[in-house]
Structure 1
Amino acid sequence: MSKDLQGLGALVTGGASGIGLATARLLSERGARVAVLDLNPDGVPHPLSGYRTDVGDDGSVRAAVESAARDLGGLDILVNNAGVGAVGTVEDQSDEQWHAVLDINVLGIVRTTRAALPYLREAARSRPGTASVVNTCSIGATAGLPQRALYCASKGAVLSLTLAMAADHIREGIRVNCVNPGTTDTPWVGRLLDAADDPEAERAALNARQPLGRLVTVDEVAAAIGYLVSPAAASVTGTSLAVDGGMHGLRVRPVPVS
C-alpha cells in the first residue's frame, strides 16, 4: 500500500466504528499518525490513539483536539465523520430532537474544525499541500429520502457548509471537501434493520434502492476519503464525492421479477 501520507497527523471524529474506523485504519496504513475522537474510543485498535470526545460540547472538542494535535506532533488532516441518524417526517420529531441532531451533525463539524484550524494553518505553512478537511455528508443532501426529513436537512447543511469552508480557507492552503455515501452497511443501518418488522425485506429494499443492487461498504467510503486527503487530490477542493452505487445520478430500469 502507498505510504503517501507518511508522517502526517490525522484526526477522525466518530472514528471508533463504521466509516470512521475504516477511514482511521486506512490513513494509518498509508503512513499517517491517526487520532480518533469518539464518545467511546476504548476499543480503538493500535496504532490508532483514542480520545473521549463529545462533539456536542465545545470544551470537550477543544481539549481533545489540543491533546491529539500535541500527541501527533501536528495536524494535517481532519475528517469530520461523527454524526447521528434520525427517522421520520417533519411531523415526527420535536423541536428538541431537531436541535439535538443539527447540533451534532452540523455544529459538531463547526466545533471540531474551529478547534483544528490553527493546526491546519500551521501545516499549510510548514508542509504545503498537506492541510485538508473532509466532511462525511450523505446522499440525503442531494436526494429526497422517505422518513429522513431531519437527517436530510442536516446533511444538506453539511454540503453547503463544506462549500463555504472551502471558499473561506482556500487562500490559506486548506482544502475542504465532502463525501456523499449512499446507504452504507454501518452499525447504525444494522440497528435500523434489526428494528424493522421484516429485517430481510428491509435490507432487500435498501439494496434495490441503489443501482448497484447492494449497500455501500465502509471501506469504499474510506477509500474516497483517503483520495480526498491525498497528494493526488491537490487540486480538489469544494467538491462532494458521491459513493452511492449510482443512486443520485442514475435512473436504471427495475430488475424484472421472474
Structure 2
Amino acid sequence: MRLNGLNILITAAGQGIGRASALAAAAEGANVFATDINSEALASLSAENSSIRTSRLDVTKQSEIDDLAAKLPKMDGLFNCAGIVHNGTVLDITDADWAFAFELNVTAMMRMCRAFLPGMLERAGETGTASVLNMASMASSIKGFANRASYGATKAAVIGLTKSIAADFVKQGLRCNAICPGTVDTPSLRGRIAASADPVQAEKDFVARQPMGRLASVDDITPMVIYLLSPESRFVSGQAMLVDGGVTI
C-alpha cells in the first residue's frame, strides 16, 4: 500500500503503460483518477477495477482540462502519460505532424501541470511532498535513433519542462521527474509494427536494439512509476529515469 490514500491522476490510461500504471497504483491503495480520449478503453478499465474513477479527456483541449481540474480533488500525484510517435527523418516531417507532436507530447503536458499544480502545491504543503511524473523516452531524447526526428525533439522538450518544474517548486515540496522507457510491448507499438512494410522484420528490429534481447512489458515499467509517484522518492526530483533494458549503457 505504497500509495495508500493518495489521489493520483493518470492520462492516457486506457491502454499500455497508462492502463498498467492505473491498475498498479490502485493496487497500492491510491485513489486513482484515470483519463483517456477513448471512452471504450476507460469502460474496460473500470470493468477490470471498479475502484478506479474514469473521465474522458482530450488533453489537447484546454477547456476540458480546466473542467476536469475544477471537478476533481487536489492531487498528490500526476502522471502525464499521453503521447504519440511519428516516424521519419527531418526530411519527412510535415508541419502538421510536427505541430501535433508538440501539441500532444509537450503542450498538453504543460497545460495539465498548469491546471493541477496549484492543488498539488497545497497538498505538498499539507503532507510534505507531491509528485509530477512526465512520460519521456530514451529514444532520440537520450540516445539518437533513426526516423524519430519529431518524436525525439518532443521528448527532449519533456525533459527540459520536467527539470524546469522541478527547479521552480523544489522548495515547496513538489517534485517533478520524467520516465524514459525503452521499447515497450504496447498496443501503440503493435500498431506501428503492423503498419510497417515488413511487420516480422520490424518486430525483429525493435527487439534487436534492446541489449536484454526482448521488448519490455508494461509490468517492467510500472515499478518505476509507482516509486516516482510515492513518498519513497521524496528526495528525487528533476531526473530523467531510464528503464530501457540497457539500451543506453
TM over 0.5: yes
| Alignment pair present for 1:138 and 2:137 | yes
How far the C-alpha of 1:65 sits from its partner, in A, is: 2.6
Offset at 1:42? Answer: 3.1
Moved over 6 A (4+): none
Q: Structure 2 length normalisation: TM-score?
A: 0.94
Task: Specify every segment of 5 or more residues in structure 1 that has no aligned partner in the other structure, as ranges.
Answer: 250-258
User: Alpha-carbon deviations, 1:39-78, whole Å to 9, x = none?
Assistant: 0133322221111111111111111232232xxxx31000
The size of the alignment, in residue pairs, is 242
Partner of 1:240: 240
CA–CA distance in 1 between the matches of 2:220 and 2:164? 26
Tell me the amino acid that sits aligned with residue 210 of structure 1.
Q
SS in 1 for 2:177: strand
How well do the aligned residues superpose, as a CA RMSD in angstroms?
Answer: 1.1
For residues 131 and 115 of structure 2, what CA distance do their matches in structure 1 show? 14
Partner of 1:124: 124
- CA shift for structure 1 position 82: 0.6
Distance in 1 separating the partners of 2:72 and 2:84? 23
Contact 1:52 1:64 in 2 (8 A): no
- Match for residue 25 of structure 1? 23
Secondary structure of 2:227's partner? helix
Residues 58-108 of structure 1: CA deviation (Å, up to 9, x unaligned): 111111232232xxxx31000010111101111112112111110010001
* Contact 1:51/1:68, CA 8 A, preserved across alignment: no
Structure 1: distance between partners of 2:178 and 2:216: 16
Deviations 1:21-54 (A, max 9, x none): 1111111100000001210133322221111111
1:125-152 CA-partner distances (Å, limit 9, x unpaired): 11112x1000010012111111110101
> What stretches of structure 2 of length at least 5 have no aligned partner?
none
Q: Distance in 2 between matches of 1:66 and 1:184?
A: 34
Q: Which residue of 2 aligns with 1:43?
A: 44
C-alpha distance in structure 2 between counterparts of 1:232 and 1:104, whole Å: 30
Distance in 2 (CA, whole Å) between partners of 1:114 and 1:63 is 13
Matches within 5 A, 1:25-104: 25-40=23-38, 41-45=42-46, 46-69=50-73, 74-104=74-104
TM-score (normalised: structure 1): 0.91
Match of 2:224 in 1: 224
Residue 118 of structure 1: CA displacement? 1.3
Separation in 2 of the partners of 1:31 and 1:57? 30
Secondary structure of the structure 1 residue equivalent to 2:45: coil
Amino acid across the alignment from 2:51: P
Q: Deviations over 1:201-254 (max 9, x none)?
A: 2111111101101111111111111111112211111111101101012xxxxx
SS at match of 2:35: strand
Q: Distance in 1 between matches of 2:24 and 2:119?
A: 22
Name the structure 2 match of 1:185: 185
Tell me how far apart the structure 2 counterparts of residues 124 and 231 of structure 1 sit (CA, whole Å). Answer: 11
State the distance in 1 between where 2:223 and 2:158 align: 20
Question: How far apart are 1:194 and its partner, in Å?
Answer: 0.9
